[in-house]
């Protein structure tokens, strides 16, 4: 209906470690099917990764306030993600350009997000504990933004990702960043990104002159990486454990057919296979 409108989704996925909803794998797989079909780009975030980010905020009082700290991490992500569309600038990278540059295949559009610095929610005090402001160089911000521990989805703890490849990647700088410095920092990180051989130039740079609140600069990394296969495989395993036992299906068969589950898991497996093929 609106072909020029980019359908960009930020979806929260269960982590599987401490889920409080037993049907979480069903819900996630069923949702992923339609996210794959209906969205132009998806940024997945996992509950466990959000909790880890909250612990890095080093603000105990806020960590005790329920979901507020987790929501704040997502709010910071959305602020960086939409900065190019909200503020003017010749080097801005808006959401449409993100989908255009980072999605080489229509169904492989899952972008792993990470950013630096991670600001605390203690609005009344300076962010000295995060190193915000001018204390961090642009190179360090870029390096931290690309670190596995900064990702908002779980990384492979066994580091079995030697064969992982980036289909495309973007570094979006905000605030006091100069495009030449951002380009230089990105080039230094290029070897660690392991871009696919068929897309050696798949590294996009964007800069927004308006910084985030309480920080002079920030960097957001969006990486369309085959590393997402690790997360999808874990989700598939949890789904199969429930589905093979036919557990909790009666909650769904009141409103849908069982074929919907088969179609959804096959669709997820096709996305996994697509990433594995693209990474070769």
Instruction: Report residue 112 as tokens.
Output: 């792993």
Q: Whole-angstrom Cα distance, residue 239 to residue 241?
A: 6
Query: Looking at residue 162, what is its pLDDT?
Result: 52
57 contacts 69 by C-beta, under 8 angstroms: yes
Q: Looking at the DSSP assignment, which residues form a beta bridge with residue 1?
A: none
pLDDT digits (tens, 9 = 90+) for 72-90: 999 999 999 999 889 877 7
Query: Looking at residue 61, what is its pLDDT?
Result: 47
Query: Looking at residue 156, what is its pLDDT?
Result: 74
Q: Looking at the DSSP assignment, which residues form a beta bridge with residue 221?
A: 114, 171
Query: Looking at residue 163, what is its pLDDT?
Result: 65
Quickly tell me which residue has 């993100």 as its tokens.
98
Q: pLDDT per position in the chain (280 positions), as tens?
A: 566 778 999 999 998 766 788 999 999 999 999 999 999 999 999 988 998 888 877 654 444 556 888 899 999 999 999 998 898 777 788 888 899 999 999 999 999 999 999 988 665 555 543 444 444 688 999 999 999 999 999 877 655 545 689 999 999 999 877 778 889 999 999 999 999 999 999 999 999 989 998 888 999 999 999 999 999 999 999 999 999 999 999 999 999 999 999 999 999 999 999 999 999 8
Sequence-separated contacts (24+) of 65-69 with Cβ below 8 Å: 68/121, 69/121
Query: Looking at residue 131, what is its pLDDT?
Result: 44
Q: What is the 8-class DSSP label of residue 158?
A: T
Instruction: Report residue 241 as tokens.
Output: 């454990």
């Amino acid at each position: 209906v609106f072909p020029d409108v980019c359908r960009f989704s930020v979806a929260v996925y269960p982590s599987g470690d401490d889920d409080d909803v037993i049907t979480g794998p069903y819900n996630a797989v069923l949702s992923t099917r339609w996210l794959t079909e209906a969205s132009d780009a998806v940024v997945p975030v996992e509950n466990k990764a959000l909790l880890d980010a909250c612990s890095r905020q080093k603000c105990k009082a806020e960590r005790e306030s329920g979901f507020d700290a987790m929501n704040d991490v997502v709010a910071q992500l959305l602020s960086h993600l939409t900065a190019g569309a909200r503020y003017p600038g010749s080097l801005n990278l808006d959401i449409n350009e993100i989908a255009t540059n980072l999605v080489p295949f229509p169904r492989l559009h899952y972008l792993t997000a990470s950013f630096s610095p991670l600001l605390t929610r203690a609005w009344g005090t300076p962010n000295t504990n995060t190193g915000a402001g001018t204390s961090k160089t642009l190179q360090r911000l870029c390096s931290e933004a690309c670190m596995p521990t900064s990702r908002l989805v779980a990384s492979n703890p066994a580091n079995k990702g030697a064969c992982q490849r980036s289909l495309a990647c973007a570094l979006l700088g905000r605030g006091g960043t100069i495009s030449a410095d951002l380009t230089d920092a990105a080039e230094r990180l290029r070897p660690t990104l392991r871009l696919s051989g068929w897309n050696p130039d798949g590294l996009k740079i964007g800069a927004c002159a308006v910084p985030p609140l309480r920080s002079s600069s920030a960097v957001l990394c969006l990486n369309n990486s085959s590393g997402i296969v690790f997360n999808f495989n874990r989700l598939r395993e949890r789904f199969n454990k429930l589905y093979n036992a036919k557990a909790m299906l009666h909650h769904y068969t009141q409103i849908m057919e069982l074929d919907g589950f088969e179609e959804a898991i096959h669709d997820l497996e096709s996305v996994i296979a697509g990433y594995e093929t693209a990474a070769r």
